[in-house]
Each structure stands twice: as structure tokens, then as C-alpha cells.
Amino acid sequence: MIRDSATLSPAASAPSHRRLGAAGLLGLLLTWWLITAAGWVEPLFLPSPGQVLAALWRLHRQGYMGSSLGSHVLASLQRLLAALLASLASALTLGLAMGLLPRLRAVIDPWVELVRPLPPLAYLPLIVIWFGIGEPAKILLIYLSMFPPLLVATISGVTRIEPARLQAVRSLGANRWQLIRWVILPGAAPPLLTGLRISLGIGWSCLVAAELVATSRGLGFMIQSAAQFLATDIVLAGIVLIAVFALGGEWGLRWLQHRYIHWN
Amino acid sequence: MSQLTARDLHLAYGPAAQRQPVLQNLDLSLGPDEILVLLGPSGCGKTSLLHVLAGLQAPDAGEIRIDGQATTTSDGRRGVVFQEHALLPWLNAADNLTLGLRLRGLGRHQRRQAAEDWLARIGMADLGRRRIDALSGGQRQRLGLARALATEPDFLLLDEPFAALDAITRERMQVLLLDLARRSHQGLLLITHSVEEALFLASELWLLEGPPLLVRRRMSLDFSQRHVAGEPVRDIVTDPRFQALSQELLQAMPAPSGRSSGRAA
């Protein structure tokens, strides 16, 4: 079910539909340009595409609030990546164990079900109280948001492995680890990658929220801080940058899925 | 070569209150060059028996010995061929074929050699790099057979291996199986609900009903030996004795619920 909601239907990725999608984006950009060029909206509320590009260039040359643009981007990417690696490692381990040991799953499932529907931002204050406002607390928040979808995806991947495949490889003399290596992990890979895409999406939104608190670096910080000075062009530049990275990650994962995971 | 013996096997499924016995007091023995065919309707418990014999499912009671030594779990000495080929779609044909060798730690060179040999033997010499989903049903089943044989197990257990194939492919597979079995002298146990397949392949045939699994008839047959000795399949299956036995077994077969009785496809 996760897969259905996240994967584009085959029709949507057909070439003609892709062209339509690109045309739609172009139309949006054109409308934006028209509105600003005609002077219908003040630049304070909506700067023109050119102004946003200029802001990007300025950010690139001069940085923002004492840090270069690169270091803002790097700070955000590092937080996201740290949370991603931690959630991937822990979700894989726990998900495998839960998928293979029904009793463990029976114990832990209720916890997961309890935490999963909670919006991570709801417990952000709690994390601040418990773990302070340092870097670890930020990564923890992002981690907590990315972990549940990955865990659920891993469990569903492990439990839907065809029994006949497991039996076949066992009959070839495989031990438990060899079963995991040759049957369970590859079999769980498709839902896992889909879970990863969902996780990354949630991770980005929590990243921006995490950077609201006590930081001087990061794209989320840049956007928030610029908003306070009504520097709308910088706000939009930050959003464009996040979109570029988020889309890049999404497309990269989708490419991986198509290139290497042809079974499903 | 080895001898497999199972003694007093018991197995039941379901929650404690309403346990359904599947195997009761079942004894079985399988030696080199034997082809024991279990013929019975779907759901009579023959697949459970095969899983127990393969070590994939522990019996509730009873023991399985190979050359007198008790075995519990699957150990690679009993190859299994499944009804649905059960190949791994993330490996190509050759890597599927040699997976058992890889699990035993054989190097790339040896595996490539084995893959070449086996692919040639099953008539798929150029298809080693193919993806599984690019193979026909018959090719997949041949690959499943070769995968089980590549590790040179002492026994080969086949669970309705040709049930999903069309008539011509099925007959070719039966001949291939006899050909491969004759070379390697494995003891074969084959499950089927096709009377003609059972008659053609078996050196010993058990007619089953159940659950719980019960052997209604046992007969020794020599049609497969006649084929190995050179008699064409057509001559064998049109032999009046083959036809008569076929009729006899068809009538003796307990009708499974909701399925036409087991005539060969």
C-alpha cells in the first residue's frame, strides 16, 4: 500500500505525460514571470524569477549571515544524511529482526503503531526539553521522522518474501545469514526503496523545522531568518535550493529502483 | 550412494483444539537409482511429506536418517525442485543455477564452469545471462532442476515440478529428468497428481489419499527403465499394459474436491 501511494502509475511516467508535466511546470514559471513583470504584485511579496536568480547569485558570492551558501547547504545535507544513515541502519536491523521473529514483532508493533501517526513536530518541544538544542537533538528529530516509514517498509518487505524462495535456498544448504543475504534483503529491496523515498520527503520537512531552533547554519535557518527581514527573494532562493536537492534525491532513488530493482 | 529412511513420521497442523493430522505412522525408504512417485489428489498431504523429508519442516514425531545418521534440518544433501520454480529474480539464469555452489564457497571460476556444463546439459547454453522473467516456463523449470542438481545432492525431491507446463514441454522435462537421474544415480522422489506422469517415471509408485496421508496401493514399475534402455516414449505410453494401469489408477484415485482428477495435462 505504501508503494501504491508513492510510485507514479505507469501511465504518469509515459513519455507523453512527462512532456505534459514539463509543460505544466513551464506554465507555472511563465505565470510567475508575467505577474511580476506586469507589476501586479509587489516584489516584497513575490519577487520575479530574475530577482530570485539574482539572490541566488548574491548568496553564492557573499554568503548569508556570516556563512557561505555552501556551508548552509552542507549543514542541512549533513543533518539529513546523518539521520538517513542512522534510520536506515536501525530500521533495517530492527525490521529484519521483527520480520523474522514474529514474537518480537508482536511486542514492538504496538509501539510503532503508536509513534507512527504522530507528527514529529508535535514532539519537537519534548526533544528540546530532553536533549537540548544542539546538533544531536536536530538530527534526532529528523531521525525520528524518517525511521517509522523505513521500519514499516522493511517489515513488509521481509514478511512478503515468497516462502517457496526461502525453502528453495534453504534446500541448497543456506544458513540463516545466507538466507538474509540472498533472499530476504533483495526481496525486501523494492518496498525498502519506496520507504526510503517517503522517509526522505518527511526528512526534508522536519529538517526545515529543526533548523528553526538555535542554529546559524542551514537552508531552513536561512529561509526563516530572511523571512524576518522580509527578504522574500532569499526565502524563495532557499526554497528553490531545497526543491532542487529534494528532487535530486527522489530522482536518484527512482533511477536506482528502475535500474537495479527490476523484480517486483 | 546413500540411503534415506524415514520412520514413524507424524505431523499435524492447526491450533491445539482442532489439530488436523497430516502424517501418521509414515515409513519410507529411498535409495540410489530409485524413482519413488507419490500419486495423489491435491491436499492429501504429499507436499507436507516432501517438506518433512527435505528437512524444510520438522515432523512432530519420527525420524529421518541418511545412511543411518539422523538429520534434522535441510543440509544440502537433499535437493528440492518446486512446483513454482522458486528461482530468484535478482540473479540471472547462471547465477541462479550455481547459487548452491556459491553458498558452499566455490569460486567464480568453478561456478562459471559448472554453469556452462549445466546450461548445455539442459539445452540453455546461451541463456546464462538472461533474466529469470525473460525465460519461458519450461526454461525456468529446467533451470530449477539444474539448480537442485548442480550441488550433486544424494537425493532429489520434486514437488509437482512439471504441473504448470504444457504437454509437450512436460514430456521433454520428464525425459530430461530420467536422463539426468540415470547419470547421477540419485534417489528420486516425485510428487504428482498426473497418472501418466507417475506411471512413466516411477520405479515404485504409491497411490495416496488423505489427509492424513495413507498409502492405498504400492506398485513396482519398469516403464522408465524401458525408456532409459532406448524405447521411445510414444511406444511406452501406448503399450496396452500402460493404458490398462492408467485406467485402473484413474478409477482408484480418490476425487479431490473442486478439481478434475489427475489426468496428465
Average of per-residue pLDDT across B5-24: 88
- Do residue A168 and residue B144 have CB atoms under 8 angstroms apart? yes
Average of per-residue pLDDT across A82-87: 96
User: Which pLDDT belongs to residue A108?
Assistant: 92
Question: Which is it for the CA torsion B133, B139, B141, B143, positive or negative?
Answer: negative
Taking only the tens place, the pLDDT of each residue in A164-204 is 999 999 999 999 999 999 999 999 999 999 999 999 999 99
- Do residue B148 and residue A171 have CB atoms under 8 angstroms apart? yes
With H, G, I as helix, E, B as strand and everything else as coil, classify residue B95.
helix
Average of per-residue pLDDT across B198-205: 94
- Do residue A182 and residue B103 have CB atoms under 8 angstroms apart? yes
Of B56, B104, B131, the CB nearest to A173: B104
User: Which pLDDT belongs to residue B17?
Assistant: 80
User: Which pLDDT belongs to residue B259?
Assistant: 43
Mean pLDDT of chain B: 88
CATH code for the domain in which residue A217 is found: 1.10.3720.10
CA–CA separation, B205 and A73 (whole Å): 73
Taking only the tens place, the pLDDT of each residue in B60-82 is 999 999 998 888 888 888 999 99
Average of per-residue pLDDT across B227-248: 90
Query: What is chain A's length?
Result: 264
Q: Note which residues in 178-197 of chain A have CB less than 8 A from chain B.
A: 178, 182-183, 186-187, 189
Residues of A in contact with B79 (CB under 8 A): 171-172
Q: Give chain B's count of helices (H) and strands (E).
A: 10, 10
pLDDT above 80 (res B264) = no
User: Which pLDDT belongs to residue A30?
Assistant: 93
Band of the pLDDT at B256, cuts 50, 70, 90?
Answer: low
Domain range for A152 is 49-54+67-260
Domain boundary assignment for chain B: 16-87+138-223+234-252
3-state secondary structure string across A125-166: HHHHHHHCCCHHHHHHHHHHHHHHHHHHHHHHHHHCCCHHHH
- Do residue A171 and residue B56 have CB atoms under 8 angstroms apart? yes
Number of domains in chain A: 1
- Disruptive mutation site among A172, A175, A180, A182 for chain B (greatest number of B CBs within 10 Å): A172
Chain B interface, Cβ < 8 Å to A: 51, 54-56, 73-76, 78-80, 82-84, 86-90, 99-100, 103-104, 131-133, 144, 147-148, 151
What is the side-by-side strand order in the sheet with B69-71?
Answer: B20-30, B4-13, B61-66, B69-71
How high is the ipTM of this complex? 0.87
* DSSP-derived secondary structure letter, A183: I
CA–CA separation, A231 and B180 (whole Å): 78
Question: Which is it for the CA torsion B78, B81, B82, B85, positive or negative?
Answer: positive
User: Which pLDDT belongs to residue A4?
Assistant: 45
- Do residue A164 and residue B82 have CB atoms under 8 angstroms apart? yes
User: Which pLDDT belongs to residue B255?
Assistant: 66
Angle at A151 between CA A149 and CA A155, to 5 degrees: 120
- What is the model's pTM? 0.81
H or E segment and range at residue B7: strand B4-13
pLDDT above 70 (res A1) = no
Average of per-residue pLDDT across B35-60: 91
C-alpha cell at B78: 537433499
pLDDT above 50 (res B43) = yes
Range scoring the smallest mean pLDDT among A232-241, B29-38, B250-259:
B250-259
Question: Which is it for the CA torsion B124, B130, B132, B137, positive or negative?
Answer: negative
Residues of B in contact with A160 (CB under 8 A): none
CA–CA separation, A150 and A83 (whole Å): 12
Top-level class of domain B16-87+138-223+234-252: alpha beta
Task: Please report whether residue A25 resides in a domain.
Answer: no
Taking only the tens place, the pLDDT of each residue in B113-156 is 999 999 998 889 999 999 999 999 889 999 999 999 999 999 99
The percent of residues in chain A predicted with pLDDT above 90, rounded, is: 66
Mean pLDDT of chain A: 89
Taking CA–CA distances from A173, the nearest residue in chain B reads B76
- Disruptive mutation site among B80, B118, B156 for chain A (greatest number of A CBs within 10 Å): B80
Beta bridge partners of B167: none
Of B89, B103, B131, the CB nearest to A174: B103
Band of the pLDDT at A7, cuts 50, 70, 90?
Answer: very low
- DSSP secondary structure string for all residues of B52-93: HHHTSS--SEEEEEETTEEE-S--SSEEEE-SS----TTS-H
Average of per-residue pLDDT across B233-238: 90
Taking only the tens place, the pLDDT of each residue in A138-174 is 999 999 999 999 999 999 999 989 999 999 999 999 9
Residues of B in contact with A172 (CB under 8 A): 76, 79, 99-100, 103, 147-148, 151
User: Which pLDDT belongs to residue A13?
Assistant: 58
pLDDT above 50 (res A5) = no
